[in-house]
Chain A
């Protein structure tokens, strides 16, 4: 445990900010703070789960992390060195890839499966001969459980689960260290979800992959993640080990999130006290002052509106951002 702690994290994000300009009125724009000061690090071989409700900035974190959007502020470090210049980004993209949510729109309908999977290879020209390319593609298809005769087909001839496998094979093409999985199973049937999740697990073991696993299904995230981060309105509210956050959530938002997880056993389900939040998530265009969660928090006091709570380590490895954390958790 000590050794891994001293080890340099594979990916480190410091105070990441991503604002999108939104037109208000004719010419004035206002920043939409999709991600507002998020920091975390991921160790090699670890899976960090990222959960939160729709529109809280999960996907934006994933995309900005891969520099698909230009960050408004903050820094992204890969193996300790910042990813800034164009050359950095080109190198970084060989090592960090992404699996997308929608297996239907993430595959080009005019390309055959082998061209889709081989595209990253083509872009970086990372093969000597067409035969080598073909061999690599077949190996990738084999890894994700597709047959070689699928290579010449088009994406529309496959089911959702198979399409997602194609997407995963594409992400693996350049032998990456790090994969951002942006809700990779939320568009799939539950039975297929399990298969795909298990495949993610196996691939992690075989290839020593590191994942940022974005989802809104807490059970799925808990199954695959080592640590879980919870986001609300562009900010991180809690970060802890998967078991810890599941058993002992500290932040009131996480508590209500955990209480909403469906229980398979009706007895425990009945005993479960659901914490129902009132109101809607505020628009990130005019977020509340101070703690962003205070408008829906049952324990909010006047102090919560005055200043932003600090994201601090409450107990070893358990971070949370709440003013009243000590008062609530005794």
Chain B
């Protein structure tokens, strides 16, 4: 037992400093584990088209929120109308960057007047701010309608998928019935019926400012458009619930709600995000042409659809008034669709077609 001692070499103890906390942390984890979400974001950022679309959406959204805060004109401010004076009709139908009579006088006196970038409409309202407001309304409608669709569709779809059997059968037949209705007809009918019912109810509340039409639009979306979302989620959950980890969770004593929220929904979240992103442009589109048909927002509140509709009256003299909201709608819908496609490619590579 003595021999090892003899063999001992002199060890330079300075070479064996205890590891610092930093070094220890480095040893524990060579690389932070990459989550599914982070991987998806990485793929999304690499996709130029999706990234550009995302930037466009963010720019449009931010400007629709912030521009009205500092813009000197307001969407319902008729520039030619001053209380106690006759109406100054020189403000109506101004061309882009043209000025009304009083504004010209002010400029002659040396004051600077904020330009009307897109001119004014037939009632002398600044057209640019109306387009911005219209965008705000359209985006809000698209966003909230999709959230409503998401909540209803996700709840019903996951219940149908998880319970299966008779519950599934009944829910899916209801879905089939709603599917088979001509949806545009239903939207128009429901919107006009709900308008009558809703107007007295919301009298004097915040909702009155938004208008009964928009609220009935939300309801119509909620009632009609959840079906495809719930079908999608049901299909996902039907395949996921056969996975053994669901069985393992049940063997550990988990109930239905636990399994749905902890196992099933987190595993179909990518599909949910993608189809919600694709739902937004379709809601915006629907809102636009309902407004175009006169079933959208209440005047004087503009939306992109109602702006386009109003522009029809003067289409030969002022074609740009139709072109501008149409371009904005197209831009929003196109970039949301492209972004949705990018999301799908990034988060669910299997779905790529």
Q: Which residues of A contact B (CB under 8 A)?
A: 63, 66, 68, 89-90, 93-94, 97-98, 100-102, 105-110, 116, 119-120, 123-124, 149, 152-154, 157, 167, 170, 173-174
Contact = CB atoms under 8 A, between A and B. Distances in A.
Contact of B253 (A94, A106, A116, A170): A94
B177 interface: no
Contacts of B252: 93, 97, 119-120, 123-124, 170, 173-174
Contact of B249 (A94, A110, A119, A154): A119
A107 B33 CA distance: 17
Given A109-B267, A123-B254, 5 more contacts: A97-B252, A100-B247, A110-B266, A152-B29, A173-B252
A294 to B, nearest CB: 34
B250 interface: yes
Interface in B256-290: 258, 262-263, 266-267
A169 to B, nearest CB: 12
B351 interface: no
Nearest to B37: A110
Given A68-B247, A105-B245, A106-B244, A120 B36 contact: no
Contacts of A98: 247-248, 251
B90 interface: no
Given A107-B245, A123-B258, A154-B33, A66 B267 contact: no
A90 B33 contact: no
Interface residues of B, number: 21
Nearest to A110: B266
Given A108-B263, A154-B33, A68 B245 contact: no
B22 to A, nearest CB: 16
Interface in B224-266: 243-245, 247-254, 258, 262-263, 266
Nearest to B265: A110
A237 B247 CA distance: 28
Nearest to B267: A110
Given A119-B249, A120-B252, A174-B252, A100 B244 contact: yes
Question: Which of B35, B250, B267 is the most central at the interface, judged by chain A CB atoms within 10 Å of its CB?
Answer: B250
B9 interface: no
Contacts of B28: 149
B249 A97 contact: no
7 contacts: A66-B251, A68-B247, A93-B251, A102-B244, A107-B245, A110-B36, A152-B29
A123 to B, nearest CB: 5
B250 A109 contact: no
